[in-house]
Amino acid sequence: MNIIKSIASIGSIVGLSLLAVSQPVFSGEVMDRVMETKVIRVATNSGYPPASYLNADGVFEGYDIDVSKEVAKRMGAKAEFLNPAWEAITSGKWGGRWEMSIGSMTPTPARAKVLDFPAVYYYTPAAFYVHKDSSYETLSELNGKRIGASTGSTFEYYLQHELELDQAYSPAFEFAVKPGEVRTYEADSNVLDDLRLGDGKRLDAGITSVPTILEAIKANYPIRILGEAVFFEPLAVVTSRDDPEFSKKVGEIIEEMRQMARWWSCPRSGLVLIL
């Protein structure tokens, strides 16, 4: 299956709507804080275009940002964005520093032990990419090679053959590549920067989401996708386990947004993903 067609057939994106919803009375520390301050602090990623990134003016943009703003609006609040380390978000030890994370996180059994995933809001395929001058034509040629991924990500776990996805959300997958060396980086942008230096200079390949690869190609990175998607990630809104009522409300809002739209077109990647 063509990888772009597979995005359209399997991908599911929550459409945004400008309709407001009524707000019932809630209890719970997180919900009470949001209702009092009218602010939802959102932990996200500053280097993950087109989902979330800082623009030239230092302002957050991207699909995750748009979703965050709409969720906050439907709670009668405003979204404020933070950029903590990914490991700090996935640890679940938030310490009240933010109320929600919308940063394209995949639910896994391990993460579900310390975090709540009230709703999946889109799906995206993961794929390997190489320098455009690379001679590699098949995924099997990457066995034993140096492959880069962002640290603490599902991409790193896939390379380590440790990735576990909730079968309720994700199609089955296989580990198609056995790297010789896994090199981890703070962000996908760092992997891309090392690979753009030349074929095999620092890396032989990288792995990340297809929209991220396409965005990099659009930005003139000398890379290309190798092979087909190796797994499909369900990406979820994340809350702490401290306030079930807040988590429930976030899940209800995402479902309302899902019901309001049948498709969503990403203006940055040009993809149209069907609900």
- Give the pLDDT of the chain (275 residues) as one tens digit per residue: 444 443 333 344 333 333 333 344 445 899 999 999 999 999 999 888 888 999 999 999 998 999 999 999 999 999 999 999 999 999 999 999 999 999 989 888 889 999 999 998 888 889 999 999 999 999 999 999 999 999 989 999 999 999 988 776 678 899 999 999 999 999 899 999 999 999 999 999 999 999 899 989 999 999 999 999 999 888 899 999 989 999 999 999 998 887 765 444 444 443 333 33
**Residue (of 88, 108, 109) closest to 98 by Cα position:** 88
Could you say which DSSP state residue 182 is in? E
What burial class does residue 51 get, using C-beta atoms within 10 Å of its C-beta: 0-12 exposed, 13-18 middle, 19+ buried?
A: buried
Give the list of residues 6+ apart from residue 70 with CB closer than 8 angstroms, or none: 16, 17, 257
Name the 3-class secondary structure at 33: helix
Whether 121 contacts 254, CB under 8 Å = yes
Q: How many CB atoms lie within 10 A of CB 243?
A: 22
Task: Read off φ and ψ for residue 266, nearest 5 degrees.
Answer: -85, 115
Q: What's the rounded Cα separation, in Å, for the pair 170 and 166?
A: 6
Distances 244 to 38, 94, 114, 121 between C-alpha atoms, Å: 19, 15, 13, 19
| Predicted pLDDT at 268 | 42
**pTM exceeds 0.95:** no
| Predicted pLDDT at 122 | 83
Angle at 158 between CA 153 and CA 159, to 5 degrees: 100
| Predicted pLDDT at 101 | 98
Token duo for residue 55? 């623009």
Could you say which DSSP state residue 112 is in? G
**Residue (of 189, 197, 194, 49) closest to 124 by Cα position:** 49
What burial class does residue 9 get, using C-beta atoms within 10 Å of its C-beta: 0-12 exposed, 13-18 middle, 19+ buried?
A: exposed
Q: What's the rounded Cα separation, in Å, for the pair 263 and 274?
A: 5
Peptide bond before residue 50 is cis, with ω within 30 degrees of 0: yes
Angle at 100 between CA 98 and CA 103, to 5 degrees: 110
Strands 181-185 and 60-61: unpaired
